[in-house]
Amino acid sequence: MLKDALAGFRCVDFSWVFAGPYCGQLLGDLGMEMIKIECRKRMDVVRMYPPFAFEDRRLNSSGYWNTHNRSKYSINLDMKSEKAREIIIRLIAMSDVVLENFSARGMKAIGFDYERLREINPRIIYCSMAGFGHRGPYKNYVAYGPMQESQAGIVNLTGWPDGEPSRVGTSYPDAAAGVSAAFAVASALRHVKRTGQGQWIDLGQTLTAAALTDTAVIEYTVNGTIQQRNGDSHRFFAPHNVYPCSGEDQWCAISVENDAEFAALAAAIGQPALAQDALYATNAARIQHREALDEIISAWTAQFDHYEVMHRLQAAGVAAGAVLSTGEFVADEHVQTRGFMEQFDHPVVGEKLYPGVPFKMSQTPGRIHRPAPLLGADTEYIFKTLLDMSDEEIKQLDDEGILV
Amino acid sequence: MAERGESSVSRGDATLYDDIVVLDVSSSIRGMHCAKMFGDYGAEVILVEPVGGSAARQVGPFAAGREDRETSLHFMHHNRNKKSVALNLHTERGQELLRELARGADLLIEDWPVGTLEALGLGFTQLHALNPRLVVCSITGFGQSGPYAGYKTSNIVEDAMGGLMGITGPADRPPTMTGAQQAEHITAMHAAYACAAALLYRELHDEGQHIDVSAQDCVASVLENAIEQYTYTGVVRKRSGSRHGTAWPCTVFPCKDGYIGMCCTQGKEVRAAALLSEDFALAEDPVLENTFERRSRADEFEPRLVAGYMKYGKSELFHKGQTLGCPIGMTSDARDLATDAHLNEIGFFGEFAHPVIGPYKDIAAPVYMTATPGVMRSAAPLLGQHTSEVLSRLNLSEAELATLSADGII
C-alpha cells in the first residue's frame, strides 16, 4: 500500500481562488484530508472561471477549479448561520490545520480569528494568506496576484529593456504563496508534534513573492544599484537568449556560462573556430558582442525544429530547452515517461489529464487522491463519518437551509 | 504594533528546525534557496563547497569594486545563516568525510548532474545505507529519470521547458524569461515543501527517503489554468502581454514616474480604477458592471485610464487607489522594496554583518510564523570558515586537519 507523508492530518479549508487552493492541492496530494467549506450562496468563484469542459459553462466543469481542488472533500455550509458555526467548531476541534486566504478582515467576519481558533483547539495550525498579511500599514489593502506581482518587484524585472515591464504569464504570486504556505504548514505540523505548540502562520502573499526577487534588494542595499529588466539576456553570461527555429513562432532557449560550454556550442553549430575568435573567446568578449553572436547562432537554429536544436545541443553538453507550448508540454516524451501528467475521471467532465505532483518522494510518493469534488458532494459523508450524524440530523440541517 | 488578536499570540523563542542538520551540497539557486529556507527557520545548514569555493561565488552581482570569492552578492543572498565547509569530494578521503557528516545529518540537498554523486559513492542509496533516517533531496532541471535526465539546465531553459516562457511577454516579441530567475526559485520552494513533509513523516515513522525534484515539472505546476485550457478545450495559450485573459482592467499601466499593476474583478473595483484616473464619466458608466463587455472594450477604455494615471506618480496612485478600493500595486523596483513602509514595519528585512562587506540589509524569512519566527543569525560564511569546527565533530585531531589541508582535501 502506498504511504502518504501527510496521512492522518486534517485541514478545514476556507480558501478560494488560487493561492489557498494551490496550498491545499499540495497538502492534499501528499495525503492530508482537506475539507473545503463552501456553499451555493458563496462558492469558490473559480468554479465559474475558464476553461470549461462544455460550452454552457456549467457548474463543476471548470478546469481551473478542478485542477487545484483535486484531493479534497467539499461540504456545503452557510457560514452565516449559527448552526453552521457550531459544526465548524466541531470540525476544527478534530483538525490539525485551518487554511484561508481571505482579506485580513475575512475570518473575523465569520467569527474565527486566531484567538477563537485557539480556544477551540490549542494545537491548531492556523494559516492565513492575506494579500499583505495581518500586520502593518497595508494590512487592509486589497490585493490579488496579478497586482501583487507588480508590488513585489517581479514585474519590473520581467520584460524588455526597451519596452514596458511585463507580468509573468500566470497569477504567479498566488502560486508562490501557495507553495510557501505548504512549506510553513508542514513545518508547523512537525513543530506541534514535537512540542505541542500550535501557531498562527501569518503569510502575506505579496511578501512571499517579493522574497523571490533574488539579488534585487541586496544589490540595492550594498551597491545602491537598481536592477533593470533584461529581456532574455543575462547580465553576466553570453550567449543567453531564445533563438528562432524553423517552425512558426518556434524558439529554443540556449544559455552558456563558461568557455568550455561555448566551445561545445561553437562545434555543435559547425563553427568551432568561434571559440578561438577574439570576439567570442571569453565571456567578457561574448557579452560585448552578444548581438552579433546571437545572429550567428540564430542562422543555425533557424534551420531546425526547436526540439532538434535542443537535442543536438544537449548532446554536445550545452544547456538548451525548446520553448514548449502547453500542448507540446503535455505530449512531451520526457514528461510522459516521468508520468507527471495524471489522468483522472471526474463525474461531470470525464477523463482528463492534469499536472500531477512536481516531485517524486521514494517512500511517500504523493498523487492525485481523488477528483475535484462537485460542490457539496461530501457533506453527508463527512457529517456521518467525522461528526457521527444520523440521516435525520442531516436532513434537518438541510431543511433549515444550512447545507445550501 | 498592538493589534488586537496579535497580543495574544504566543511568541516563543522556539525555532522550527533547531534540531535539524542540513548538508547543502548545491551551487544553484534551486538548491541553495531550498537549503536557505531551513536555515532561515533555525536549522544548522552546512554548505559543503569545493576547496576552491562554490561555483556560486563566481556569479555576479558583486559588491561594487571588489570582485573576489567573498564578495558575490548572489552567493551572499542565497547562503546566509549557513556554515561553510570546504571539502574536495573528488578525493576518497573527502568522500569519506562527507559520508561521516551524512551519518549525523538529517537532510542533504544536492543539485549535481544525475548520477555524479552516486559515482563518488555519495548517492542516496549509499548514504541511506549509512543513515536510514536521512532525507536526500535531489533538485535538477528534469529529474532523476526519463530521456532528458542528463540534460543541462538553467533558469531560461526551465522557463522554456516548463511552459511558462511561451505564455510570458508581449505577443510581438520573443517568449520572455521571468525576471529574477523565477523558475529556479519556484523549484526551490517546491523542494523545500517536499523536504518539510519528508522531515515530518520521518518524525512520525523514523524513516528517511529520496526526493526527486524536477524544475520542469515545478514550473509546469504553477501555470494556473494554462495546461487545463489545453486539456479541456484544445486551445494552446499564446503570450499576450500583461493583460489578463478575462478580468479587466487587470494589467500593467504606465504612470508619471513608472508603472502600476492593477487587477479589478468586480464592478466597484473597476469604478474605483476610473475614479483614480479622474475619469468621472467612465466611473458612472453602467457598462463597467458587465465583466465581458468592459473587457471587450479594453482598447477603448485603457487610453482614458492611462491619461489620468500619467498625471501622478506610482506611490501616490497606489495609496490613493487602495483608499478608493481599487486593487492596485505599484511596479516596485529594488529601492521601492527596500524603503517600503509596510515591508520594513513587519520585519520583511533582516540586518546582516559580513566580515568583508560590512553591515547590510536583505530579505529575511518570507513567512511570519508567530510561534517560530525566522532567525537571521549570520551573513553568508567565508569559504571554509567552519571547516575545523564542523570536522572536529568527527573526532579529527588538529594534526589530522592540518594534514587534510596540506593534501588539498579540506
Is any Cβ of chain A less than 8 angstroms from the Cβ of B286? no
- Encode pLDDT of B286-324 as tens digits: 999 999 999 999 999 999 999 999 999 999 999 999 999
Average pLDDT over residues B73-96: 98
- Kindly report the three-state secondary structure assignment for every residue of A389-401: CCHHHHHHHHHCC
- Encode pLDDT of A263-272 as tens digits: 999 999 999 9
CB A106 within 8 A of CB A100: yes
Question: Does pLDDT of B92 surpass 70?
Answer: yes
Is any Cβ of chain B less than 8 angstroms from the Cβ of A64? yes
Question: Does pLDDT of B1 surpass 60?
Answer: no
What percentage of chain A exceeds 70 in pLDDT? 100
Q: CA-CA distance, A11 to B134, in Å (whole number)?
A: 28
- Encode pLDDT of A118-150 as tens digits: 999 999 999 999 999 999 999 999 999 999 999
Hey, what's the cell of B119?
559515482
Contact B337 A163 (CB under 8 A): no
Is any Cβ of chain B less than 8 angstroms from the Cβ of A207? yes
Collect the ranges in chain A with pLDDT lower than 50: none
**H or E element at residue B83:** strand B82-86
B3 vs B368, higher pLDDT:
B368
Question: What does the pLDDT read at residue B3?
Answer: 38
Q: Which of B228, B254, B370 sits opposite A164 (nearest CB)?
A: B254
ipTM over 0.90: yes
Average pLDDT over residues B18-39: 98
Q: Which of B142, B176, B180 sits opposite A231 (nearest CB)?
A: B176
Contacts of A244 in chain B (CB under 8 A): 174
Contact B217 A171 (CB under 8 A): no
Q: CA-CA distance, B282 to B278, in Å (whole number)?
A: 9
Contacts of A370 (CB under 8 A, 6+ apart): A70, A71, A72, A344
Q: Would you give the distance in Å from CA B283 to the centre of its chain?
A: 39
Q: CA-CA distance, B410 to B401, in Å (whole number)?
A: 8
Amino acid type, B324: L
3-class SS at A223?
helix
Contact B199 A190 (CB under 8 A): yes
State the maximum Cα–Cα separation within chain B, in Å, rounded to a whole number.
83
Question: Does pLDDT of B12 surpass 90?
Answer: no
Contact A361 B198 (CB under 8 A): yes
Question: Does pLDDT of B328 surpass 60?
Answer: yes
Is any Cβ of chain B less than 8 angstroms from the Cβ of A26? yes
Q: Which residue has the cell 532567525?
A: B375
What percentage of chain B exceeds 70 in pLDDT? 97
What percentage of chain A exceeds 90 in pLDDT? 98
Is any Cβ of chain A less than 8 angstroms from the Cβ of B306? no
Is any Cβ of chain B less than 8 angstroms from the Cβ of A184? yes
**H or E element at residue A253:** strand A251-255
Q: Which of A107, A113, A168, A298 to mutate to test the interface with B (most CBs of B within 10 A)?
A: A168
**H or E element at residue A311:** helix A306-315
Question: Does pLDDT of B14 surpass 90?
Answer: no
Contacts of B171 in chain A (CB under 8 A): none
- Encode pLDDT of A143-171 as tens digits: 999 999 999 999 999 999 999 999 999 99
Q: Which residue has the cell 542509496?
A: B125
Question: What does the pLDDT read at residue B5?
Answer: 36
Contacts of A130 (CB under 8 A, 6+ apart): A101, A102, A103, A104, A106, A139, A143, A202, A203, A204, A205
Question: What does the pLDDT read at residue B13?
Answer: 66
Q: CA-CA distance, B157 to B148, in Å (whole number)?
A: 12
Contacts of B160 in chain A (CB under 8 A): 242, 251-253, 321-324
Which B positions 216-255 lie with beta carbon below 8 A of chain A?
216-218, 220-233, 235-239, 241-242, 244-247, 250-252, 254
Between helix B182-205 and helix B29-40 the angle, nearest 10°, is: 50
* A:B CB pairs within 8 Å: 555
Instruction: Indicate if the alpha-carbon torsion angle A49, A55, A58, A60 is positive or negative.
Output: negative
3-class SS at B129?
helix
Nearest residue on chain A to B244, alpha-carbon basis:
A146
Closest to A352 in 3D by CA, of B363, B118, B6, B229:
B229
Per the prediction, chain B carries an average pLDDT of 95
Contacts of A39 (CB under 8 A, 6+ apart): A76, A77, A78, A79, A376, A403, A404
Question: What does the pLDDT read at residue B7?
Answer: 37
- Encode pLDDT of B219-233 as tens digits: 999 999 999 999 999
Per the prediction, chain A carries an average pLDDT of 97
Between helix A172-195 and helix B182-205 the angle, nearest 10°, is: 20
Is any Cβ of chain A less than 8 angstroms from the Cβ of B302? no
pTM for this predicted structure: 0.97
Contact B368 A202 (CB under 8 A): yes
Given the residues A174, A202, A294, A378, the one annotated as active site:
A174
Q: CA-CA distance, A289 to B252, in Å (whole number)?
A: 32
Active site residue A305: no
Contacts of A20 (CB under 8 A, 6+ apart): A13, A14, A99, A100, A101, A129, A178, A181
